[in-house]
Structure 1
Amino acid sequence: MNQILTNNHQQIIGLGNPSSKFCFNLPNVPIVGELGYDVAEIVDINGNHWRKIFVIIAKLCDDSDNWQQFRDQRLVNEVYLNFTTQLGNASKIEYLCGKNHAESFELGHRKWCNIDEEYQVKSAKNANEQLLLLTPYLDYRQFPNALITKVKNFIETA
């Protein structure tokens, strides 16, 4: 369900279906064009920065070996991008992207498990068995392929 969610001031607060399996909480809202939540158009308008974000999201979410196809054909329907500081309740896996951004959420007292100490990736489950992941911002330098693999392997066993 490809949709743009806005608040009372018509500011974008989310892209996609809030009930998607995956939710990525991001600090930066892209400029959205006439097509709405369309990966190619968002990349055309916002540049290489958003291309990198979508590549990392696709690599984290795709369960096959074809993340490019996931990015181009399925991402907008299977991933929710949240730009507020409120955790969603519907997603099974929720990523809090970027240390500074994660600090703006009220996470309460949770038992966090270290996934990777070098990149400071941590996980916790809430009462609904939703998996929360504190991760670096979605940039190749902060979230390299080796870390993507490590996080995906952790999720498979969690």
Structure 2
Amino acid sequence: MHIGNPAAQNLIYLPHSPIIPDHWSWQQSDAVETLISANSNHWRKIMVIAAKIFSPDEDWRHFLYSDLLWKLCLCTEPSAQQPVDGIQLISGKAASDMLNVSTLKATPLLLEPKLQQLNAKTWLVPYLDYRQFPDRMIALLRQAISGVSNA
């Protein structure tokens, strides 16, 4: 399932899908609020962490509610990697298993071994939950991907 702009340059793979409300569209002005409201706090955390990673500046709250689903696609229960021009984050072991991604060729980030780079634009990251992916790790990933075009 794709949540967000299917033509977005950046993509996050997640192992589970949220409940999608009837008549919901990622293009509606309250798409994020409606999706969070229909699901648990768990999906609020996922959306907030995604916004913190991909926001072009420190105002991730504005980005979350205005641009997140336009600039990013969440691919849930993935079976294959999608061709995108920007950053791809494979979130958690379950998502990497679904995509048959091996960590053997991944290069861990020096300051944080849980952030592993597969190639210039593809990263294996912890599941988007604050216990596994705290703010200091989000900041390290933001710094690592900031030099990549289309990030």
TM-score by length of 1: 0.81
Map of 1:121 onto structure 2? 115
CA deviation profile, 1:19-40 (whole Å, cap 9, x unmatched): 3121010111111112323110
In 2, Cα distance between the equivalents of 1:102 and 1:41? Answer: 28
8 Å CA contact 1:123–1:133 kept in 2: the answer is: yes
Aligned pair count? Answer: 140
The alignment status of 1:39 with 2:29, answered yes or no, reads: no
Structure-2 change in CA distance of 1:44 and 1:110 (3 Å): same
CA deviation profile, 1:69-91 (whole Å, cap 9, x unmatched): 00000011111011222111124
Counterpart pick for 1:135 among 117, 121, 125: 125
In 2, Cα distance between the equivalents of 1:101 and 1:94? Answer: 12
Counterpart of 2:124 in structure 1: which amino acid? Answer: L
Q: After the TM superposition, list the runs of 4 or more consecutive aligned residues in structure 1 that deviate by more than 6 angstroms.
A: none
Gaps of 5+ in 2: none
Map of 2:14 onto structure 1? 26
Q: Which has the higher contact order (CA 8 A, sep 6+)?
A: 2
Question: 3-state DSSP class of the match of 1:81?
Answer: strand
8 Å CA contact 1:16–1:81 kept in 2: the answer is: yes
Map of 1:94 onto structure 2? 88
User: Percent identity at matched positions?
Assistant: 28
Gaps of 5+ in 1: 1-12
8 Å CA contact 1:18–1:90 kept in 2: the answer is: no
Tell me the C-alpha RMSD between the 2 structures: 1.8
Q: CA deviation at 1:111?
A: 3.7
CA deviation profile, 1:99-145 (whole Å, cap 9, x unmatched): 1221221336974211122xx210122xxx5x111011000010000
